[in-house]
Structure formats: C-alpha cells, structure tokens
Amino acid sequence: MLEEDPPHYHGHRDRLRARFIEVGGDSLPDYELLELVLFRSIPRRDVKPLAKELVRRFGGFAEVLGASRGRLSEVGGLGEATITDLKILEAASRRLARGAIAKRPVLSSWAAVLEYCRTAMAFAEREQFRILFLDKKNALIADEVQQSGTVDHTPVYVREVVKRALEVSATAIILVHNHPSGDPTPSSADVRMTREIADAARPLGVVVHDHIIVGRDGHASLKGLKLI
C-alpha cells in the first residue's frame, strides 16, 4: 500500500514556524501571525484562507482578538474551541500589558500605561469606562471597569467614581474609556464629565491625573490637550 503524501500545508507550517523563530513576530504580517495561532487550534486544515478572512473582516490581528464571541462565530470555519483559544490569547495579552504597570510608579511608565489601556480597551465593540486607582506613590492599587455601555455611550456617575476611590484609599486616579468608532478625539461631554469628577474628588484629597481615550486610531490625553 502506497504511503500518502502529507497535506501540502504541512511544509508551509514548518516554513512559517522557522521564519517566526528566525525573525520574530514583529516581522510577520498580521495574517501570518494569526496563522501561527490557528495552527494549534486547527491542526488538520490549511488555515491561511481563514486567517486572511479574519484580518479582512475585522481589520487586523488585534481587532480579531478583540472581536466578540458572537461576531467571531459568524465566520465560517471557526468553532467554539478555536474562538476560546483566541479569547485566551486576548486575556493573556491584557495580563502581560497590565504586568508592565502593576509594580512601578504609573506616571514614570506612561508608555506602558498607554499600551495597557490600548490592549485592554481599544478594540472593544462597546464603550467601557475604566479607572486606574493609585496610591500616594502613584503605584497601581486597583484597575476596574466601572461601566459598560453602547457603541457610543457609557453612563458615568461622578458620585460612584469618587466613592470607589475613597473605598480603595486612592489618592489619585486615571480615567480611561474607549471610542469603538476608532477616533479617540474627546467629545464635549467627555471633557465636562472629567471636570465634574475632578472638582468633586479634589476636596476629598483625590487627584485626577488624566483622562485617556483610546481607539483603534490612537489615543488622546485630556491633560495633554490641556482640557483639564
């Protein structure tokens, strides 16, 4: 009995893995990095067409990981196990980014803060309002999503924000929210809400260091824009 030739994609997988080892992930296009992830989830199929379709549909590697389970399930060829693997990778990337700011003064590692905020929220499909609570040395005490909303609005309650800061003994906070549209430009409502929180927190010894808005197209700092 003649031995069957291995599927054509086996050689491609070996070559792509070797290239990853040689040049690293930063040198690979998004669809090839996604292929490497899918290799383990889907071992007996050519996953290049699927990886390209995911990148085409969602816009990039990060957007694929950030897509909801519901939207991912709409893509033919993605089963529950594979979707779970993608969401595990998303959670791992968020945990890695958070680790970069967990044990150091936040204001001295601002680039890591921005990267964490982007990883955690920039590709979400609904608005989220997050608060980073800091101690007197500007180290991170807690990181909490306070509210989740719609595609273009999240309700924020000034009293609840200040109350929570006092509960965790924070002396400073950084407000963060995302714009699912991709454009991080602050709205007049964003500016007004930030000033209201700052005004309410200040007499109680809590400083609002900044309000960061993240989106797929970048980030905006209200402090950097001199809006607070």
| Pick from 1-5, 152-156, 171-175, 221-225: least confident | 1-5
Q: Is 70 exceeded by the pLDDT of residue 4?
A: no
Q: Is 227 part of a structural domain of the chain?
A: no
Res 203 pLDDT > 50: yes
Q: For 49-70, what is the mean pLDDT?
A: 91
pLDDT in tens, 62-90: 889 988 899 999 998 899 999 999 999 99
CA 130 to chain centre: 12
For residues 115 and 85, state if they share a domain.
Answer: no
Which one of 42, 62, 93 terminates a domain?
A: 93
**pLDDT tops 80 at residue 152:** no
- Cα angle 95, 23, 63 (rounded to 5 degrees) comes to 40
Give me the domain span that covers residue 179.
104-221
User: What residue has token string 């400073």?
Assistant: 172
Q: 93, 118, 145 — which closes off a domain? A: 93
Residue after which a domain boundary falls, among 93, 124, 141: 93
- The average confidence (pLDDT) of the chain is 87
120 and 156 part of one domain: yes
**Is residue 6 very low, low, confident or very high in pLDDT (cuts 50, 70, 90)?**
low
**pLDDT tens for residues 9-47?**
668 888 999 999 988 888 899 999 999 999 989 988 899
Mean pLDDT, range 141-160, rounded to an integer: 81
Tokens of 171: 């002396």
> Could you tell me if 138 and 61 lie in one domain?
no
Distances 143 to 89, 110, 133, 146, 205 between C-alpha atoms, Å: 20, 15, 6, 9, 19
- For range 109-132, the mean pLDDT: 86
165-187: per-residue pLDDT in tens?
999 999 999 999 999 888 899 99
Residue 197's nearest CA partner among 146, 151, 143 is 146
Mean pLDDT over 211-223 rounds to 91
pLDDT value at 2 more than 70:
no
The enclosing domain of 81 has a CATH number of 1.10.150
84 and 151 share a domain? no
pLDDT at 66: 85
**How sure is the predictor about 5, in pLDDT bands with cuts at 50, 70 and 90?**
very low
Q: At what angle do helices 30-41 and 48-58 cross, to 10 degrees?
A: 130
Give me the pLDDT at residue 34, please: 95
Mark whether 216 and 132 lie in a shared domain: yes
Domain count within the chain: 2
0.75 exceeded by pTM:
no
Residue in the structure block whose two tokens are 């982007």: 118
Concatenated DSSP letters for 108-166?
Answer: G-HHHHHHHHHHHHTT-SS-EEEEEEE-TT--EEEEEEEEE--SS-----HHHHHHHHH
The answer as to whether 131 is a domain residue is: yes
Per-residue model confidence (pLDDT) at position 151: 59
Asked if residue 52 is part of any domain, the answer here is yes
DSSP secondary structure code for residue 186 in this structure: P
Are residue 76 and residue 136 in the same domain, yes or no? no
Q: Which residues pair with 175 in a beta bridge?
A: 131, 211
Q: What gap in Å lies between CA 228 and CA 212, rounded to an integer?
A: 11
**Residues 134, 51 within the same domain:** no
Q: Phi/psi class of residue 24: alpha, beta or left (left: φ > 0; alpha: ψ in -120 to 50)?
A: left
